[in-house]
């Protein structure tokens, strides 16, 4: 059907099936990829546009209904070269865009409001943005940006040497607020073939494929396990246990079985039941108890007892120490599978270029992707080029391969570009999850409240494949005693295979689960001794000079006590206010809780180097070549700020080349909160290296001041100014590498697992409706020792986003295969669920880090759930043993508590 409508103020004509979704038509037929698709079901709001001035999900509007009407998309807000619209400018200035995948939808939803009311209240903003999910920001900066739209604060452009510590606007921000950033599904060539993956409906089954020839005649290819040259991948070099396509056996619901390759309309038209697969389902193993049962079948044939890994840390004599304790607390805590729920589903495309394969996909780790694809396809790593697209959120979930193997194999075989974009249910079913944990903890202290002993055993459900399971099982024992000086420690972790989804990396690598246990123990011991919960933690906080349970002496930068000092006034005030509030009785009770954490930055006892380059071309172009992927957290901007100050030129003079494995060096993966600390240090060294080369050319001293004007570089050393003509000096390239110093852990877990640790304490204020069992988080105050905040706005953004995910972990998020495979049954916090989050930045400098900086990505999430659960206990007396604390679970616990008291 041919139809006309008004698109961004101009007449547009379109021809196609009238049932086509507006979102699809905008993106695929009209070239407006600023409108993003996150779910195709009206659950996420990423595709929000205005239809006759009102916000709608363009994934729910039939093109047949658009004829004669007016559609406005993010592209209408500004055009290339023009001044950004006030709303976009406000988003930039406030740091309201992180990964940017929800930003167009947020902007359009906000536009409907600010056209009616340019000075909206917070409540109005929340009502209008309630239908757009954001997984990165925690919403606070978005709400502020909309409320301040008429008077945005001016952006800062720091002078040479002043970039570090300043709130410069993120360098990739303009692309994000205009919708021009190219995400995994945005740059697919028009002539690309598409893949649709047929996935297992069973958690455990054997299967046989029937005659695929009829399908092959309708399509370009039908790929099976036989088409994968080396059909096993995995994070660890020695554990390549996950097939790209299952070979006669599936181990979790959602596992890929067959890939249909062809024209998009053709692969979508084929239903799963048209693919001849004969299934023989077997009883699945769910949960660690089933996996550990004596007669349990093996999930992986070579893994007796379904055990992936075990290990721990032992120091002192906990058994003897417990006997001397004045107070002992113990408990067992359970967590669920948690879904990353990045708003950008996995997506990308590949093409064959001669004897090389080139992959454009959303990822957190280009070099690991490169090596893994080379391995799967039996190519050399040099034959694989990874060109990362913008990444619409990762949080650990885009560290594992997703679309890359299938698009690469299909493009290689067919000699045509091939694309694959996961649907939301497919993304949720296929991708990795946070490990469900059962953490059994026992902590003891003396009569003065000094911790003497702890014993923690954490069992993890690692799902069908190993993925990052070993990382979780290794990291947790190092952190499971919490950020406290305890002389006698036994911590132990075990991970088991089950027929759940593969549990992998998710912001914190198991530490958030362990923190729920150790913080509950701290609360209980403090309560037993009648010591204030904050002061009890302060008394036991690890400080510089203390020795950890792995025998590592913390030389510097252990700012937990400072974090607690910063929280103390808020803590006391909340206690006073809530005592008064609760005095009045009623069904609503308020409570305040506290959570502390520490977090080792970078890989655990493993090398994780980063290499960065800064170039100055003969034409005077200054470029940072960064392999560190910005997945929304802001590393593009951070690296540039660090490099700029190291060179001594203004950040705004830098170009940035990022991610492409042909153009940048390996800066490792964006995980383990390592980019600021590790890659930032490499960027600093690279900048210093370039500066040294310049100073040598100018024969100038270390304090010389540089300025760059076109191809002329001026070096002012005292009163003397020398100029370097870059056209004749030739290209200059500075290089820096950094690998944080660690040592292996011995059988008792003794050694130096991390070069530095982040510390944090968060305070949560909650209101519990005791009749309904609902928890409303009223406020979070987050104090984080980040060493040095390279860009405070970005650090706050990380904290607020981490808090929002911690809130989800505590109160609502539970992935159940087959039951919560969409964003209306699987709940993540909306703008109305995340409270005001006040960030207190503690800067206890880490000498190893760039300008003293450490990391913030994962630390932001870890203390939130413990703080909320502590507040729930303060409000109700209920000690939560299982998250998420859904309303019915809390209500049942309140009833049980009342019954016991009666």
Partner 1 sequence: MGDYLRPRGLDEALQALTRPFTVLAGGTDFYPARVGRAVTEDLLDIAGIATLRGISETSAGWRVGATTTWSELVEADLPPMFDGLKQAAREVGGRQIQNTGTIAGNICNASPAADGVPALLALDAEVELARRDGARRLPLASFITGVRTTARQPGELVVALHVRRPRGEARSAFLKLGARRYLVISIAMASTLIEVEDGKVKAARVAVGACSPVAQRLPALEHALVGATIDADLGERVALSHLAPLSPIDDVRGSAGYRSEVALVLLRRLLSKVAA
Which residues sit at the interface with partner 1, rule CB under 8 A? 1, 17-19, 21, 39-43, 45, 48, 51, 54-57, 59-62, 64-65, 109, 112, 126-128, 130-133, 196, 265, 268-269, 271, 423-426, 771-774, 811-812, 814, 816, 819-820, 822, 824-825, 827, 829-833, 886-888, 891-892
**How far, in Å, CA of 603 to CA of 616, rounded?**
32
The set of residues, in sequence order, having a beta carbon less than 8 Å from that of 156 and lying 6+ positions away, is 166, 167, 168, 169
Q: Where are the beta strands (DSSP E) in 82-131?
A: none
Q: List the beta bridge partners of residue 491.
A: 313, 456
- In 3D space, the residue among 281, 588, 184, 220 whose CA is nearest the CA of residue 416 turns out to be 220
Q: How far is the CB of 114 from partner 1 (least distance, A)?
A: 14
Nearer to partner 1, 128 or 367 (CB): 128
- In 3D space, the residue among 532, 437, 439, 432 whose CA is nearest the CA of residue 482 turns out to be 439
Nearer to partner 1, 429 or 698 (CB): 429
Q: How far is the CB of 839 from partner 1 (least distance, A)?
A: 22
Nearer to partner 1, 111 or 752 (CB): 111
Q: How far is the CB of 274 from partner 1 (least distance, A)?
A: 12
- In 3D space, the residue among 522, 541, 534 whose CA is nearest the CA of residue 879 turns out to be 522
Q: How far is the CB of 437 from partner 1 (least distance, A)?
A: 20
Nearer to partner 1, 663 or 772 (CB): 772
Q: How far is the CB of 768 from partner 1 (least distance, A)?
A: 14
Nearer to partner 1, 66 or 594 (CB): 66
Judge whether 283 and 289 are in contact, CB under 8 Å: no
Judge whether 174 and 74 are in contact, CB under 8 Å: no
Nearer to partner 1, 271 or 696 (CB): 271
Nearer to partner 1, 41 or 705 (CB): 41
Q: Read off the tokens for 338.
A: 């948690």
Q: How far is the CB of 484 from partner 1 (least distance, A)?
A: 33
* Helices and strands (H, E) in the chain, number of each type: 23, 33
Q: Where are the beta strands (DSSP E) in 757-814?
A: 757-769, 774-785
Nearer to partner 1, 61 or 399 (CB): 61
- In 3D space, the residue among 858, 426, 350, 864 whose CA is nearest the CA of residue 631 turns out to be 858
Nearer to partner 1, 482 or 806 (CB): 806
Nearer to partner 1, 517 or 812 (CB): 812
Q: How far is the CB of 400 from partner 1 (least distance, A)?
A: 21
**Is residue 884 reached through a cis peptide bond, with omega within 30 degrees of 0 on the bond before it?**
yes
Q: How far is the CB of 832 from partner 1 (least distance, A)?
A: 3
**How far, in Å, CA of 866 to CA of 533, rounded?**
12
Q: Where are the beta strands (DSSP E) in 122-227?
A: 193-199, 205-209, 221-223
Nearer to partner 1, 20 or 76 (CB): 20
Element (H, E) at 112: helix 103-116
Q: How far is the CB of 89 from partner 1 (least distance, A)?
A: 23
Q: How many CA atoms lie less than 13 Å away from 568 in the CB half-sphere? A: 12
**How far, in Å, CA of 651 to CA of 176, rounded?**
19
- Measured between its terminal Cα atoms, the distance across the chain in Å is 70
Nearer to partner 1, 66 or 476 (CB): 66
**615 three-state secondary structure:** strand
DSSP character at residue 259: E
Cα torsion 409, 410, 414, 420 to 10°: value is -140
Judge whether 97 and 171 are in contact, CB under 8 Å: no
- In 3D space, the residue among 805, 803, 813 whose CA is nearest the CA of residue 765 turns out to be 803
The set of residues, in sequence order, having a beta carbon less than 8 Å from that of 620 and lying 6+ positions away, is 708, 709, 710, 711, 712, 713, 726
Q: How far is the CB of 765 from partner 1 (least distance, A)?
A: 17
Judge whether 801 and 839 are in contact, CB under 8 Å: no
Nearer to partner 1, 123 or 747 (CB): 123
Q: List the beta bridge partners of residue 767.
A: 590, 776
Q: How far is the CB of 884 from partner 1 (least distance, A)?
A: 9
Q: How far is the CB of 55 from partner 1 (least distance, A)?
A: 5
Q: How far is the CB of 819 from partner 1 (least distance, A)?
A: 6
């Amino acid at each position: 059907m041919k139809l006309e409508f008004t698109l961004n103020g101009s007449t547009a004509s379109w021809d196609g099936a009238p049932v086509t979704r507006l979102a699809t038509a905008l993106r695929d037929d009209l070239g407006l990829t600023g409108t993003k698709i996150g779910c195709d079901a009206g659950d996420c709001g990423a595709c929000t546009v205005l239809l006759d001035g009102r916000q709608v999900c363009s994934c729910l509007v039939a093109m047949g209904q658009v004829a004669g009407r007016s559609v406005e998309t993010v592209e209408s807000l500004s055009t290339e070269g023009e001044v950004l619209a006030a709303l976009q400018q406000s988003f930039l200035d406030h740091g309201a865009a992180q990964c940017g995948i929800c930003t167009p939808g947020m902007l359009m939803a906000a536009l409907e409001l600010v056209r009616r009311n340019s000075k909206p209240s917070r409540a109005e903003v929340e009502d209008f943005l309630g239908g757009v999910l954001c997984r990165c920001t925690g919403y606070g900066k978005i709400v502020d940006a909309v409320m301040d739209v008429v008077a945005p604060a001016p952006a800062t452009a720091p002078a040479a040497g002043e970039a570090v510590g300043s709130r410069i606007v993120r360098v990739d921000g303009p692309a994000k607020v205009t919708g021009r950033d190219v995400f995994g599904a945005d740059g697919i060539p028009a002539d690309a073939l598409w893949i649709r993956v047929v996935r297992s409906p069973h958690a455990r089954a054997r299967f046989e494929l029937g005659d695929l020839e009829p399908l092959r005649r309708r399509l370009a290819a039908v790929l099976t396990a036989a088409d994968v040259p080396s059909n096993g991948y995995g994070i660890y070099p020695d554990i390549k246990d996950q097939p790209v396509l299952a070979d006669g056996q599936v181990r979790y619901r959602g596992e890929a079985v067959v890939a249909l390759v062809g024209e998009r309309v053709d692969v979508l038209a084929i239903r799963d039941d048209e693919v001849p697969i004969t299934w023989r389902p077997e009883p699945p193993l769910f949960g660690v108890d089933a996996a550990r049962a004596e007669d349990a079948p093996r999930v992986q044939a070579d893994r007796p007892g379904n055990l992936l890994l075990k290990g721990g840390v032992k120091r002192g004599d906990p058994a003897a120490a417990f006997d001397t304790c004045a107070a002992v607390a113990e408990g067992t805590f359970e967590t669920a599978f948690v879904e990353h729920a990045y708003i950008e589903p996995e997506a990308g495309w590949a093409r064959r270029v001669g004897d090389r394969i080139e992959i454009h996909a959303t990822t957190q780790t280009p070099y690991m992707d490169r090596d893994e694809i080379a391995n799967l396809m039996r190519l050399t790593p040099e034959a694989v080029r990874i060109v990362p697209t913008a990444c619409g959120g990762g949080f650990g979930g885009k560290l594992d391969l997703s679309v890359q193997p299938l698009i690469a194999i299909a493009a290689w075989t067919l000699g045509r570009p091939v694309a694959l974009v996961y649907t939301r249910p497919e993304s949720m079913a296929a991708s990795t999850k946070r490990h469900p944990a059962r953490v059994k903890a026992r902590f003891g202290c003396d009569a003065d409240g000094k911790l003497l002993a702890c014993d923690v055993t954490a069992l993890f459900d690692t799902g069908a494949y190993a993925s990052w399971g070993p990382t979780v099982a290794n990291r947790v024992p190092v952190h499971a005693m919490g950020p406290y000086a305890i002389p006698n420690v036994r911590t132990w972790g075990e991970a088991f295979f089950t027929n759940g989804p593969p549990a992998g990396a998710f912001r914190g690598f198991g530490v958030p689960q362990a923190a729920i246990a150790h913080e509950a123990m701290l609360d209980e011991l403090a309560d037993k001794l009648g010591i204030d919960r904050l002061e009890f933690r302060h008394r036991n906080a690890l400080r510089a000079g203390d020795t950890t349970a792995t025998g590592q002496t913390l030389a510097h930068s252990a700012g937990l006590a400072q974090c607690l000092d910063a929280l103390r006034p808020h803590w006391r005030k909340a206690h006073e206010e809530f005592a008064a509030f609760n005095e009045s009785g009623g069904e609503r009770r308020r409570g305040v809780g506290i959570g502390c954490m520490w977090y080792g930055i970078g890989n655990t006892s493993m090398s994780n180097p980063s290499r960065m380059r800064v170039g100055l071309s003969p034409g005077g172009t200054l470029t940072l070549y960064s392999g560190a992927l910005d997945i929304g957290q802001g590393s593009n901007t951070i690296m540039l700020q660090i490099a700029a100050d190291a060179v001594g030129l203004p950040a705004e003079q830098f170009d940035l080349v990022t991610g492409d494995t042909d153009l940048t060096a390996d800066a490792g993966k964006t995980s383990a909160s390592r980019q600021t600390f590790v890659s930032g240090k490499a960027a600093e060294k690279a900048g210093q290296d370039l500066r040294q080369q310049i100073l040598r050319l100018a024969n100038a001293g270390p304090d010389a001041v540089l300025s760059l004007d076109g191809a002329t570089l001026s070096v002012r050393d005292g009163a003397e100014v020398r100029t370097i003509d870059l056209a004749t000096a030739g290209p200059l390239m500075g290089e820096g590498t950094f690998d944080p110093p660690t040592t292996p852990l011995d059988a008792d877990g003794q050694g130096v697992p991390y070069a530095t640790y982040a510390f944090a304490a968060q305070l949560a204020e909650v209101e519990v409706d005791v009749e309904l069992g609902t928890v409303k988080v009223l406020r979070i105050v987050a104090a984080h020792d980040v060493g040095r905040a390279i860009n405070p706005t970005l650090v706050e953004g990380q904290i607020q986003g981490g808090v929002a995910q911690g809130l989800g972990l505590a109160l609502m998020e539970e992935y159940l295969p087959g039951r919560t495979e969409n964003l209306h049954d699987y709940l993540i916090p909306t703008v109305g669920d995340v409270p005001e989050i006040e960030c207190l930045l503690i800067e206890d400098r880490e000498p190893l880090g760039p300008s003293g900086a450490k990391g913030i990505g994962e630390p932001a999430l870890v203390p939130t759930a413990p703080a909320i659960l502590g507040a729930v206990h303060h409000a109700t007396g209920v000690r939560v043993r299982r998250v998420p604390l859904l309303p019915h679970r809390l209500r049942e616990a309140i009833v049980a508590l009342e019954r016991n008291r009666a």
